[in-house]
Structure 1
Amino acid sequence: MSQVPLIVDTAWLADRLDDPKLRLIDATTFLKPPESGGYYDVWSGREAYNEGHIPGAVYADLLHELSDPDSEFPFTVPSRERFSKKMGELGVGGDDTYVVVYDQGNAIVGAPFIASDWASRLAWQLRYEGYGNVAVLEGGFVKWKEEGRSISTEPASYPEATFTGERRPELLATKEDVKDALDDENTILLNSLSEADFNGETDTYARSGHIPGSVNVFFGNLSDPETKELYNDEQLRDAFEKVGALDPGKKVITYCGSGIAATWNALLLNKLGKDNVAMYDGSMTEWTADPLLPLDKKDK
């Protein structure tokens, strides 16, 4: 089976909807800031999937089925057994299929489209567990629908499969890895949140600010909000080069709030040829919950 690109466009997918080797997955999840501040309200996108999805797509529930149910933090990587079982049920496994993942829109309910980071989260999880032939749909369902392409309300399924591959631990960073990186000049900590989050001007997490020594590239600034397409590689490269993230001699650890947006930046770094990239799964949710861990804020 030939390798698919990391990111594919709607025309590419439309040409392959009838390909029996395709496994198309809707990974929609929703966030909404609570009225009184604090962490987001989060819910599954299954209902949105039922109301309309790209024909042939199956639904993967990142919140309830593909996260560790025993973790105190949302969206923590589940056991390999849990993940493998669910992927097998969705028809993903072996070497004779490829996956395209998309989501239905906005990182935050009510905000404009900025990235398909729920899709990149599932794509990252698949790679982490050793399934590498996976692409993310550029512009997701929003772009697909805007182009007037076909939409289905019929549930879909694929033949059950045995999920294979070996876990790639180098793709995941733990809290201890990040602590070690604080004093490592060869590791770049890349905060993927907004500038306001980075500067400590918001109260989403237990404490505000950023991990000391971090640099900031907001994941939402890397796509054109009108076309829903990524900026060209030259513009993307410029955004990451400014903070040193494309230095070939350095490792990058991306982080965000709960390991979602960070997978988008990791994906784009991979697209630009940067392979030595890990994602801090606990991100700010875990880091700020420990009062002994340091945080910086930008001086006003």
Structure 2
Amino acid sequence: MTATPRYVHPEAIVTTAWLAEHLDDPALRIFDCTTYLRYETGTGRPYRVESGRADYEQGHIPGSAFLDLQGELSDISAPTNFMMPAPEDLAARFAAKGIGEGTRAILYSRKNIQWATRVWWMLRAVGFDNAAVLDGGFDKWSAEARPVEAAEARYPAAKLAAAPRSGLFVGKQEVKAAIGDPGACTINALAPDLHRGDTPRYGRPGRIPGSVNVPVSEVIDSASLTLKTPKSVAAIFTSVGADLSKRIILYCGGGIAATLDAFLLHQLGYQDIAVYDASMSEWAKDETLPIEVG
């Protein structure tokens, strides 16, 4: 890590002040990406997925449209939620929403920036690089008493040819192969109790053996919901052994929180970063895969 860590892709992070000044930019495609996980007990599933559309319809950043991550952008035939569709399919879905040639996508969410970073990471995976997340999301926008509107916005369809980047998402075999590999660092973005195995939310309690814990709550300022400083975030990752020279694999419950850690590692200049898409939603249920607690 450099002596003075910095975010090396500042164009991928925008402030509320910047967005307020550029709402009329015809090239912008602004999206509310909010999803909620409603945790339940006694249902046999870790949570119920709820689209954030209802909150969007109550009020959103002017001109912004809505992206339903599970309903519109995920492979709904997959056994776990939020799985990536094939790159060409996903690119076509983004294009239908207005993301493509000549546009810049601005992504925001409510309560947690991880929903915006998930969509950002998906766009990067299909080769679209002109996207940014709104630091602090709708919560900061609202706290600053900036304007909102209730009218639904839609953008004209765009052209987006998939140019897939291999390795940004991995499956269980790649994750299993990294166990015990000194050249790899596997990071769990879930809360500490889930990492320790105190809570059997996803099936078998515990974590992928040898993985370390960087909960997404550690990299976000709890008051403003903005990203912590590069220096603070760099120190957190360095403290768990995430060296720049290593292959970094990130996971969580369903491949969402992991993208926030991945986004920040990318910002810090890490080159070899992958998200385990199915994460503990798959791993904890597969009895053939190792797990550890404590």
TM-score, normalization by structure 1: 0.92
Contact 1:192/1:217 (8 A) holds in 2: yes
Deviation, structure 1 residue 275: 2.1
- 139, 157, 166: which one pairs with 2:154? 157
Which position in structure 2 is the counterpart of 1:207? Answer: 204
- 100, 105, 111: which one pairs with 1:99? 105
Task: Describe the shift of the 1:248–1:81 C-alpha distance in structure 2 as closer, same or farther (beyond 3 A).
Answer: closer
TM-score, normalization by structure 2: 0.93
TM superposition outliers: structure 1 runs of 4+ over 4 Å:
none
Which position in structure 2 is the counterpart of 1:9? Answer: 15
Contact 1:4/1:133 (8 A) holds in 2: no
Which position in structure 2 is the counterpart of 1:47? Answer: 54
Which position in structure 2 is the counterpart of 1:290? Answer: 286
Provide the secondary structure at the position in 2 that maps to 1:101.
strand
Provide the secondary structure at the position in 1 that maps to 2:70.
coil
Contact 2:188/2:213 (8 A) holds in 1: yes
Which position in structure 1 is the counterpart of 2:66? Answer: 59
Provide the secondary structure at the position in 1 that maps to 2:85.
coil
Provide the secondary structure at the position in 1 that maps to 2:71.
coil
Which position in structure 1 is the counterpart of 2:37? Answer: 31
Q: Which consecutive residues of structure 1, in runs of 5 or more, have no partner in the other structure?
A: 106-114
Which aligned pairs between 1:123-202 and structure 2 lie closer than 5 A?
123-202=120-199
Provide the secondary structure at the position in 2 that maps to 1:126.
helix
Contact 2:100/2:160 (8 A) holds in 1: yes
Listed one character per residue, the Cα deviations across residues 144-196 of structure 1 (whole Å, up to 9, x for unaligned) are 00100010101112221111240111211111110111132101100000110
Distance 1:275 1:136 in 2: 20
Given residue 133 of structure 2, which amino acid in structure 1 is its aligned partner? V
Provide the secondary structure at the position in 2 that maps to 1:127.
helix
Deviation, structure 1 residue 59: 0.7
- 225, 229, 246: which one pairs with 1:228? 225
Which position in structure 1 is the counterpart of 2:254? Answer: 258
Given residue 206 of structure 2, which amino acid in structure 1 is its aligned partner? G
Distance 1:275 1:89 in 2: 30
Distance 1:201 1:26 in 2: 33
Distance 2:83 2:206 in 1: 21
Contact 2:247/2:272 (8 A) holds in 1: yes
Provide the secondary structure at the position in 2 that maps to 1:42.
strand
Provide the secondary structure at the position in 2 that maps to 1:169.
coil
Given residue 97 of structure 1, which amino acid in structure 2 is its aligned partner? T
Given residue 241 of structure 2, which amino acid in structure 1 is its aligned partner? G
Provide the secondary structure at the position in 1 that maps to 2:31.
strand
Distance 1:261 1:226 in 2: 19
Provide the secondary structure at the position in 2 that maps to 1:289.
coil
Given residue 70 of structure 1, which amino acid in structure 2 is its aligned partner? S
Provide the secondary structure at the position in 2 that maps to 1:151.
coil
Contact 1:193/1:257 (8 A) holds in 2: yes
Distance 2:220 2:88 in 1: 35
Distance 1:129 1:218 in 2: 26
Provide the secondary structure at the position in 1 that maps to 2:284.
helix
- 71, 77, 92: which one pairs with 1:85? 92
Provide the secondary structure at the position in 2 that maps to 1:189.
strand
Deviation, structure 1 residue 86: 1.9
Taking only aligned residues, the RMSD between alpha carbons, in angstroms, comes to: 1.4
Contact 1:4/1:134 (8 A) holds in 2: no
Listed one character per residue, the Cα deviations across residues 211-262 of structure 1 (whole Å, up to 9, x for unaligned) are 00101100112111112222211111110000111x1211100100000000
